[in-house]
Chains A and B, each alone.
Chain A
Amino acid sequence: MAEESVKLLGYWASPFALRVKWALKLKGVHYEYVEENLPNKSPLLLRYNPVYKKIPVLVHNGKPLAESLLIIEYIDEAWKQNPLLPDDPYERANARFWAKFFDEKCVPEVMGAFASKGEEQEKAAKARENLKMLERALEGKPFFGGDKIGFLDIAVGWIGIWGRIVEEIAGVSLIDAETMPLLTAWLNNFLEVPVIKACIPSWHELLEHNKGFHKILTGSST
């Protein structure tokens, strides 16, 4: 049988690529990582993701897939060990619902707080409001996936890192331990899980990278 080939086109500072790395690691899948130089996208990336031209892209035996959450569902179906989504259709629907909520209602608000000049506090307040809603999906469990990490944990988990970076650079509060005790506790647990922790990029490098990004987004003139 031909050897299986799994390639991940990513970017070291991308939380979306990190999600996919976490999924692959949790499943114990061996893969080749290809770092894209984002301002200068490779012909390979453009060929593999002509629609969005973005990373992450997973290429499994030559077949490309884009969009991080879709890639994670694919990984879950292609490799059956250590399931990421629960068995029950209703619980699967809940996991998908909250992942979508996070991407559509939390992430843009966090990005808004980061990119805004003058409206950071407003946007951060909205982000906090929406992030707080995620606690409904925790419902007294240690992880969104229950006793173990699952789909929703790896979909949302990066907010623990990038959220703190936005807080520091933009001078806002996003994850507030007082008003979001469950989310805070979950993040602290999640980011300490060895296989999760091992993939996280250097805090210092990420901070410097995003400081530069912030300058560009908010305009270099003061």
Chain B
Amino acid sequence: MAEEVKLLMTWSSPFALRVVWALKLKGVQFDSIEEDLSNKSPLLLQYNPVHKKIPVLVHNGKPISESLVILEYVDETWRQYPLLPDGPYDRARARFWAKFSDDKVSPSMWGVFIKQGKEREEAFDQVFENLKFLEEELKGKKFFGGEKIGFADLALGWIAERVCVLEEIIGVKIVEEEKFPLVSAWMQEFVKVPIIKESLPPHEKLVTKIRGIREKFIGAA
């Protein structure tokens, strides 16, 4: 039976990118469907009625939403290139860092990106506190997954993929090599991985788009 794998996504979404990376690492053929989020398609509303968001993976007609949930599904369905390690404890730790990315790192980074003045200084403190934990976790490792990238790397990968864009827009360095040598090294190694490198969204287009988001947000405040 022919397998049908579709991914509803947008070119600039870091959450969709996680799924793209996972599918490509596993060599899974898929159709990407670019969604216009200002005009959501009936397909998206049908496949993700609860959140109405991308990414949505549709495997043989069955939809799965929420990027980390999708990653676990992809890992369990296609066994080549395992994303999660074998042992239960290491798996739990990988899931922990993935959750940490969404619960703590992402909101703190957003804070630095849109806040100004004293509020931004405080946001920086949050970011640094979070980066310290990542720095600690990377001791003795090339990637969060060890020698190869894994689940936690894909979850945290937006840092490697996107922080330079945020830095360019606000004109301030966020992840300084002196302060966070291991995280900086990991960021450089991550984007060098061929699958990751070839999937990166076009830089200038991304800068323009995200700059626009920032201006809109600050303007509306």
Contact = CB atoms under 8 A, between A and B. Distances in A.
Given A74-B88, A100-B66, A101-B50, A93 B73 contact: yes
Contact of A92 (B76, B92, B96, B104): B76
Interface string B88-102: 110111011001100
Interface residues of B, number: 23
Interface in A34-57: 50-51
Contacts of B73: 89-90, 92-93
B64 interface: yes
Contacts of B89: 60, 63, 65, 74, 78
Interface in B49-90: 50, 59, 62, 64-66, 69-70, 72-73, 76-77, 88-89
B95 A73 contact: yes
Given A93-B70, A96-B69, A65 B92 contact: yes
A133 interface: yes
Interface residues of A, number: 23
Given A66-B96, A73-B95, A92 B72 contact: yes
Contact of A96 (B72, B88, B92): B72
A93 B100 CA distance: 20
Nearest to A130: B50
B69 A100 contact: yes
A71 interface: yes
A133 B51 CA distance: 11
A90 B92 contact: no
A97 B69 contact: yes
Given A50-B133, A51-B100, A101-B50, A93 B72 contact: yes
Contacts of B59: 90
A70 B92 contact: yes
- Interface hub of A71, A74, A78, A89 (most chain B Cβ within 10 A): A89
B88 A97 contact: no
B183 to A, nearest CB: 15
A94 to B, nearest CB: 8
Contacts of A92: 72-73, 76
A135 to B, nearest CB: 12
Given A67-B99, A89-B76, A92-B76, A97 B92 contact: no
5 contacts: A50-B133, A65-B89, A65-B96, A96-B66, A97-B66
Interface of B: 50, 59, 62, 64-66, 69-70, 72-73, 76-77, 88-89, 91-93, 95-96, 99-100, 104, 133
